[in-house]
Each structure stands twice: as C-alpha cells, then as structure tokens.
Structure 1
Amino acid sequence: MAAFAIRDGHPRDGAAIAAIYAPYVEQTWVSFETEAPDAAEMGRRIAEYGQSHAWLIAERDGEILGYAYGSPHRTRAAYATSADIAVYVTSDAQRLGLGRALYTALFDRLRAKSIHAVFAGIALPNPASIALHEAMGMVPVGIYREVGWKLGDWRDVGWWQRLL
C-alpha cells in the first residue's frame, strides 16, 4: 500500500465521509445513529467540529480512506477543555495504521487548542476499537450498561480516557 497523507477535513469531503460512515450506522452497533447522515449533514459536521476542535482526513491518491475528529464532550463551560473523539476507516483500509496516524495528529491538534482530556465511547463488544484506543494510551473509565437499543438488542458503551 502506498503512503497516505493526513489533512484537514473540508465540507466538500461530506460525500466521501458519508460513504465511509454509512455501513457503521446501517450494519453495526458501532454508531448509535440509526439513519446514516447524508453528504450535506456530514459537510456541516466537518465544518462545525473542524472549527471548534479538529476534523482530519487520511487520504491516498485523492481517495479518502478514513477520518478522525474531536467534538465537545459536554456543553457546560467547565468541560471546555475536554473533547470526545472518534475515528472511522474504510473496511479495506483497516489494520494499516490509519487509526493510529489519525489519532496521533488529532491529539496534537487538540493539545494545541488547549484540550486537556479526550474521551472515546466504544459500543461493546468491539475488541479492535478497544485495542486501538488502548494502544493510543487511553484507559477504561467505565461502562454505561444497556444504554442503547440497536439491531434488536441492548448495547453497552465503554468509555476510555486519555489526558493530553
């Protein structure tokens, strides 16, 4: 596989990002959304979170392979230095180091914006995501039991944290 580049996301990336995210929404419990957002909605999210935190794209030869972003952890003022994070990669680009590279760049960007703590919610079970987050220095801090109903069953969400 040729090398990939990491760059800032742009609203024009909305269609490619929507295509990457849709299978996670429609076929898995990884995302708790029940309807996949369209290109316009993803473009809006890229603009919003790119401005407030960061939205990064992994790209090779003009093809978007994955993305990572930070978003507000909570809305109250005291949480302003905390962020939620997420990473998604196309199915054919998994296990190539994209997640680590995206998170490394994202953590640098968030640190520069004075973010102190990052949090990742992982719908369980998801051993690959847990392994990635722990490889990035995140530690488990708790589990919300049966917090969501998706694909005909109750789903737990584990939370991981890292101080930047």
Structure 2
Amino acid sequence: MTEHADVQVRPGVESDLQALTELYNHYVMETPITFDTRVFTPEERRPWLLSHPEDGPYRLRVAADAYSQEILGYATSSPYRAKPAYATSVETTVYVAPRAGRRGVGTLLYEALFEALSGEDLHRAYAGIAQPNEASVRLHERFGFRYVGTYREVGRKFGRYWDVAWYEKPL
C-alpha cells in the first residue's frame, strides 16, 4: 500500500464497487473522458472489478482518504486488445474524483500501478486521452508516455465528435 499524508493507495476490493461505480458514472454523465454514454449499476460493473485481480498484468489501484476511506480515484491496467499477440501491451487509465483534483492523487495512483506492473511480462502501456484534457496529457507525459497519434472525431457524445490522442510508454 502506498501512502502520502492523507491518501492511501491500495488494490481495489469488492467493498469499493459502489463508490467506484459512482465515480465512473460521474465521468459518464458529465464529461467526454469516457465514451460510455449511460450510467452503470454496481452489479453491471462487477465483471470489470473482477477482471482486475491483485496480481497479473491487469490491475486496479484505488486511492482513498486515509481517515474517512472515501474513494478519491482509481487507476487500471487492462487488455489493450483481445488478440493474443497484444498480450504484452496494456491500456492504462486514471479517474480522480472531482473534489480530489490537484492533490496529486493521479500521480500516486500511477506510481502504485506502475510499481505493481514492474514484475509483469509487459512491453508497452497505452493511454487514449479524449481531447482536450491538458491535465491528463501532463500526467501521462510525467510518467514517460509519448504522443504517438490522434484518432480524429472517433467518438460522438453530447451531440459532438471528440478526438482521442494516443500515448505509449515502454514498460
């Protein structure tokens, strides 16, 4: 477990499911950061939670307030694509609760995630960042991600099309 004054970072567990679902649903309804367009119930998100065990290449790290245990954010590594040759690549993502922004939570989450992945048979991490999102671009660049290209108008949400910039990082 990673600790930073008032924030603890740990693997995600079943009891986090409600709070993680609420956090994700905020981004579904209020932002283009995810291209999901309808909210989820915790039961609908359970398979996602279970697909991120404590070991292996697909991890979930949760940041919680050290005192209240309120969920402040989470980071994941997930399969990049389903075909076998992609097995050494992961897609990473970070979601930070709006009230926890600008506190270094995203940094703590990525530190813990990449530390957890360091012993895995992985070659590259990829991140797709809906544009514009300068805070996410800065976070990813700080962790060694480099821009590799943009999918133009690849997703439609809130009545408009959005670009996604792609970044990669050697692992």
Query: Taking structure 2 as the reference length, what is the TM-score of the superposition?
Result: 0.91
Q: Which has the higher helix share?
A: 1
Aligned partners of 1:157 and 1:145: how far apart in 2?
7
Segments of structure 1 that go 5 or more residues without pairing to the other structure are none
Contact 1:57 1:67 (C-alpha < 8 Å) held by counterparts: yes
Matched, 1:163 2:170: yes
Matches within 5 A, 1:12-161: 12-50=15-53, 53-60=58-65, 61=67, 62-161=69-168
User: C-alpha offsets along residues 34-85 of structure 1, whole Å, 9 cap, x if unaligned?
Assistant: 0122212223211112365100100112111110011000111111110001
User: C-alpha offsets along residues 66-116 of structure 1, whole Å, 9 cap, x if unaligned?
Assistant: 100110001111111100011001111111111011111111212222222
- Cα distance, 1:2 vs structure 2: 4.8
Kindly, what percent of the aligned residue pairs are identical? 40
Give runs of ≥4 in structure 1 deviating > 3 Å. none
Q: Could you say what the CA RMSD is over the residues aligned between the two structures, in angstroms?
A: 1.5
Aligned partners of 2:45 and 2:105: how far apart in 1?
20
Give the total of aligned pairs.
Answer: 164
Query: Taking structure 1 as the reference length, what is the TM-score of the superposition?
Result: 0.94
Aligned partners of 2:121 and 2:40: how far apart in 1?
30
